[in-house]
Structure 1
Amino acid sequence: MGKVICVGLGPGDPELMSVRADRLIRGANHVAYFRKLGRTGQARKIVNGMIGDTAVEHPMEYPVTTEIHFSDPEYNRLLSEFYDDWAGRLAKIAKDQDVIVLCEGDPFFYGSFMHLHSRLQSLAEVEVVPGITGMSGCWTATGTPITWGDDVLTVLMATLPEEELARRAADTDALAVMKIGRNLPKLKRALETAGRLEDAWLIERGTMEGQRIQRLAEATGDWPYFTIAVVHGQGRRP
């Protein structure tokens, strides 16, 4: 029997991938990865040139991303069917051989694979290879430590209500905010309310080609969904 092996690809720079992840991808006979319909997919871009010529690729195309709000029951129904379907497909492959599933960052840190992981428990043997989180790559790109001493770090999703974003941002030392995109104006208002706006930075494509860093207060225009905002802690220093 084979296994379903999810490999964390790290923050985006292929050189920040683990040795184990690199070895598994280069030796894979089956490689699966998430992507938006009609796109290459960020995970697939990261491993470009690493997948063998004879490997079979399995693009797992989301039925919906931002077209329907995530609070809509139809959104959950479509994604549930999608994950059910792909859990079955991957388990079928794993009856005979390993199948590698690619995941940006770390699979168990807000990764899409966690939805497959729970469904695969009774269907196939599963292994997860951890990776450096995307936010680690982003705050490192700023050249400033994210936490000092006993600073508390809070991770938020910009999809949260504005009032909750403001409350949590005011109640922490260091902050990382994910899933920004069209939520940027809301996040900016929330951080201003919390008194943290002037300390916030936006990082797009951290560690990757085209990396962009800007103070959040000065940010205008379009910033993609996978942009991350950070506010550095200022804790006790020797």
Structure 2
Amino acid sequence: MKTGTIHGVGLGPGAQDLLSVRADRLVRSARHVAYFRKAGKPGQARRIVEGMLRDDVIELPMEYPVTTEIPVADPRYNALLAAFYAECTQRLAALTGTGEDVVVLCEGDPFFYGSFMHLYTRLSGQVSIGVVPGITGMSGAWTACGQPMTWGDDVLTVIMATMPEEELTRRIRDTDALVVMKIGRNLAKLRRAVTAVGRQDEAYLVEYAAMADQRVTPLREAESVTPYFSILLIHGQGRRP
């Protein structure tokens, strides 16, 4: 029997018209569609494709056993997620074994800080698997700002706000252009780090980039931030003609 293929499909930052032609074709034609979500929530990836799926689509939500309930450094965190990803891979592999293709919906790009990577590394070499790249959330964010992100020889650094404050400060100091992800509860710490190196007037917070609720706010004016869909940017000012 012919085996099926798992397609990790990048959906881009949030707008349907920012999907690639290939991604659009796969999403609209898929009989089996899988996506990650927090328990009790519809999931952003599923929201992005609302109205695009076949009438007879079979949906396969994959609900995280933990998100922010346990600290990342807690051994239980990795143990729970490892078991979760193992169960997901078995489920998808079993489906392809019956000859069915599966489209896994991925916010942004599948290979850029996404959950699909954990499936890919477990499934690669075992089943037929493909990846469709997508526009990253950070690209949507700097486009929302209406400013070029890097010039000439600018060095761009991408970091997580979950890092220790001392490390955040060092990396912000040592780069030309900056993207900070996973802000949420770490906004106060991030603000201190940016201020410590005197770059607070260069920093912008972008929330819901490329979505209906898109908002761009200078960091000095921001009092809070959305827990998940927020990115901090500092634009490079490098060499130009």
1:198: Cα distance to partner? 1.2
Output the amino acid matched with 1:220. E
1:235: Cα distance to partner? 0.4
1:222: Cα distance to partner? 4.0
For the residue of structure 1 that corresponds to 2:233, the secondary structure is strand
- In the other structure, the counterpart of 2:237 is 234
Output the amino acid matched with 1:28. A
Output the amino acid matched with 2:83. E
- In the other structure, the counterpart of 2:52 is 50
- Structure-2-length-normalised TM-score: 0.97
For the residue of structure 2 that corresponds to 1:101, the secondary structure is strand
1:226: Cα distance to partner? 2.5
- In the other structure, the counterpart of 2:173 is 170
- Note if contact 2:207-2:225 (Cα within 8 Å) is conserved in structure 1: no
- In the other structure, the counterpart of 1:144 is 147
Q: Does residue 91 of structure 2 align to residue 99 of structure 1?
A: no
> What is the rounded CA distance, in whole Å, between the counterparts of 2:239 and 2:139 in structure 1?
21
For the residue of structure 1 that corresponds to 2:7, the secondary structure is strand
> What is the rounded CA distance, in whole Å, between the counterparts of 1:225 and 1:105 in structure 2?
13
- In the other structure, the counterpart of 2:40 is 38
For the residue of structure 2 that corresponds to 1:12, the secondary structure is coil
Equivalent residues, number: 238
Q: Equivalent of 2:158, from 134, 155, 159? A: 155
For the residue of structure 1 that corresponds to 2:53, the secondary structure is coil
Distance 1:182 1:113, change over 3 A: same
- Note if contact 1:135-1:176 (Cα within 8 Å) is conserved in structure 2: yes
Q: Equivalent of 1:89, from 63, 88, 91? A: 91
- In the other structure, the counterpart of 1:19 is 21
Cα RMSD for the two superposed structures: 0.8
Output the amino acid matched with 2:5. K
1:46: Cα distance to partner? 0.3
Gaps of 5+ in 2: none
> What is the rounded CA distance, in whole Å, between the counterparts of 2:32 and 2:140 in structure 1?
28
Gaps of 5+ in 1: none
For the residue of structure 2 that corresponds to 1:176, the secondary structure is strand
- In the other structure, the counterpart of 1:71 is 73
Deviations 1:27-63, CA, capped at 9 Å, x for gaps:
0010000000000100000000011111100000000
